[in-house]
Structure 1
Amino acid sequence: MSSSSDESPVLVNREAFVRAIDIMKSDMGMEIFSEGQRPMYAIGRLVARLPLEFVSGIRLADCETLTLISQLKESVVDETGIQSLDTIVAIRAGDDGCGGYGYEGFTVGASIADTAQTYTDAIKYAMLNNFKHIELEVNRLVPLISSSE
């Protein structure tokens, strides 16, 4: 995963992330891995700029241990690289170009209501201050695949 920001990464708890994805997959009627079949995972990080015209293209889901992104419009995926099953860990607006932000909210392990409120607050801040985008920092669960020599 790449990052457009130099600050320290915000990372969720891996076990909570795996559990949340299992809950989401179960709710969708998808098969989940049993403990013996589960691959090893790493947590990837992506910092993406989301233009304000795309902010309505993200749906969230409460998955007990984390709030996950459940659905995205294709335009959001194309613009940002964010995917379903990612989790938003920080939302920022008003980048000053020096590593500071006029608005910054952290959503690691936050409820769906708190995540939605932080998202809304960032959008309002951006709109009031004539910024064209907000910034989302997301975590993604990445299966590790062993390499053969």
Structure 2
Amino acid sequence: MQKTAEPDVQVLAAQVDAVSDGAINKFIIVTAVACGVGIFVSLALLRIFLRIPINYLLVIGYALVFLLALVTAPEFVAVSFDAGGVTTGPMTVPFILALGVGVASVTGKRTSSSDSFGLIALASIGPILAVLLLGVFYK
């Protein structure tokens, strides 16, 4: 749950809480973003082990994003893409890249730089999907 300490996530959550007059709690946004990043970083690391091409995961991920955007309230769509943007904060990027390069170097065979490519791109899909799902189920 390193993502909860990210300053950008805290600012986003505070802004959403203020704009929604407390209807969407800061804790809910922070938790959704952190879970989304965690799940998709895990998926990105699994991609390294299973040698799945990144373009497959990106196409599937963004197809899900656009499908969910059709059934989610427009307010949540805007917040979800902002949540994807806070993934590239000063605390998260070095953590994810170091983790990915370390895992890729242990697997051998291919170069760790090509295996670790796209970790942040995949990690950015997670919060978008998480907040869109929150918008579908949040009343």
Q: Same fold by TM (over 0.5)?
A: no
Q: TM-score, normalised by structure 1?
A: 0.32
Q: Which has the higher strand share?
A: 1
More helix by share: 2
* Greater relative CO (CA pairs within 8 A, separation 6+): 2
